[in-house]
Amino acid sequence: MAIIGAGIAGAAAAHRLREAGRPVVVLDKGRGPGGRMATRRGPDSLRFDHGAQYFTARDPRFKARVEDWTTRGVAAPWGGAERFVGVTGMTAPVRDLLDGIDLRCGRAVGRLVRDGRSWRLQEADGAALCEDAAFSAVLLTCPAPQALALLAGAGEDLPGVAEVRYAPCWTLMLAHDGPPLADAPVREDRDPDATIAWIARNDSKPGRDGGGTLVAHAAPAWSRAHLEDAAEDVAERLVAALRERMPVGAIRHRAAHRWRYAAVERAVGEPCLFAPETGLGFAGDGCLGPRVEFAFLSGLALAGRALGEAAR
Ligand SMILES: Cc1cc2nc3c(=O)[nH]c(=O)nc-3n(C[C@H](O)[C@H](O)[C@H](O)COP(=O)(O)OP(=O)(O)OC[C@H]3O[C@@H](n4cnc5c(N)ncnc54)[C@H](O)[C@@H]3O)c2cc1C
């Protein structure tokens, strides 16, 4: 089987399939695994969790996994209220699930091509991926618009994928010499008209080196209004907005990252989608909602369906 996307959903699915003894290949267009559980490197060994900030665990299956991660030092509590982060970056839990799995990064799947009862994967220009191997099932764990494009190109549909909606998010990564947040480690603003919705002391997370790093997420409405702006302009505006909220010292590094599909606003409302007759499936936070835990559970569910389990 092939899994497209090495975020937490794809990693959970791959892990489950491997446990069941099924060969699996995971492809991701990014340079490494993690998806929106992301860690970005800056100069001077700076590192920022610029996607998901933390995760919670409520479902017993995810709780058991998080307990295992914390026991082995892959994750650790942070900031109270049963919040957990990867150690030493948010990608750590995803990497852990993918340990020993055939993971191929830097591979953007552009086309799904039917070959009898199997599927072949191609880049957008038609070049073969995976040495032209054929797969009995292809599990799509990329954000819904990207999954939809692949399905449409193959002349297939998984009802529900087209209805999923995401809010964008511009993220500021900043290293400065000012005092840390007074009420560390986070500050939230739920005003929909705010420029910045979330500020986190990135350096307060366990295992992170270096002081003075913070991550700020712009609010959804602001992010939407500035979606196509240049990253450098956005970084400048977000630093200005940050100065209104806290003292900012001499800036050592700043960068902005645009998440076009950040937080699910409308989900499918089912754990996953799977069509046994074609072997195509969809999982991720687009199924159950905007949380790491939901994406994990969705990936597990899709692996179960691909293994022949009934829908729950
Ligand atoms: C700014 C931000 C803050 C967040 N904060 C939190 C938080 O605090 N707590 C929380 O629980 N959740 C948070 N989330 C949400 C959480 O990160 C997501 O719900 C979760 O990580 C989604 O995982 P996923 O596997 O479904 O998708 P993703 O992590 O997006 O993985 C999909 C993968 O598919 C790959 N891909 C896409 N198209 C292709 C293609 N054509 N070929 C190959 N690969 C492809 C992508 O590169 C990506 O790696 C946040 C998200 C963002 C962006």
* Closest approach atom of ligand 1 to CA 53: 8
| CB count in 10 Å sphere of residue 162 | 14
Q: Is 138 helix (H, G, I), strand (E, B) or coil?
A: strand
Q: Which atom of ligand 1 is nearest to the CA of 261?
A: 53
Query: Ligand 1 site: residues with CB under 6 angstroms?
Result: 4-10, 27-30, 35-37, 51-55, 108-109, 141-143, 146, 169, 171, 217, 259, 262-263, 284-285, 290-292, 295
In this structure, what token pair is assigned to residue 289? 């909602």
- Interval between CA 265 and ligand 1 midpoint (Å): 14
Delimit the CATH 3.50.50.60 region(s) of the chain. 2-37+93-164+267-306
CB 96 within 8 A of CB 74: yes
State the Cα–Cα distance between residues 10 and 4, nearest whole angstrom. Answer: 7
Q: Compute the average pLDDT of residues 222-243.
A: 97
Q: How many CB atoms lie within 10 A of CB 86?
A: 28
**Is the model's pLDDT at 175 over the cut of 80?**
yes
The pLDDT value recorded for residue 260 is: 98
Angle at 46 between CA 41 and CA 52, to 5 degrees: 60
Residue 144, H or E segment: helix 144-153
CA–centroid distance, 35 to ligand 1, in Å, is: 4
Interval between CA 182 and ligand 1 midpoint (Å): 30
What atom in ligand 1 is closest to the CA of residue 36?
A: 29
**How many angstroms separate the alpha carbon of residue 199 from the centre of ligand 1?**
19
pLDDT averaged over the chain?
95
Average of per-residue pLDDT across 46-62 = 97
Q: In the chain, pLDDT over 90 holds for what percent of residues?
A: 88
Question: With b meaning 16 or more CB within 10 Å and e meaning fewer, what string describes 130-161?
Answer: beeeebebbbbbbbbebbbebbeebeeebebb
Instruction: Write out pLDDT tens, residues 65-83.
Output: 999 999 999 999 998 779 9
d(CA 251, CA 245): 16
- CATH among 3.90.1150.10, 3.40.50.720, 3.50.50.60, 3.40.50.970 for 2-37+93-164+267-306: 3.50.50.60
**Residue ranges, CATH 3.90.660.10, the chain:** 166-265
CA of residue 297 to ligand 1 center, whole Å: 14
- Residue range 166-265, CATH number: 3.90.660.10
- What does the DSSP assignment read for 175-218? EESSPPPTTTTEEE---TT-SEEEEEEGGGSTT--SSSEEEEEE
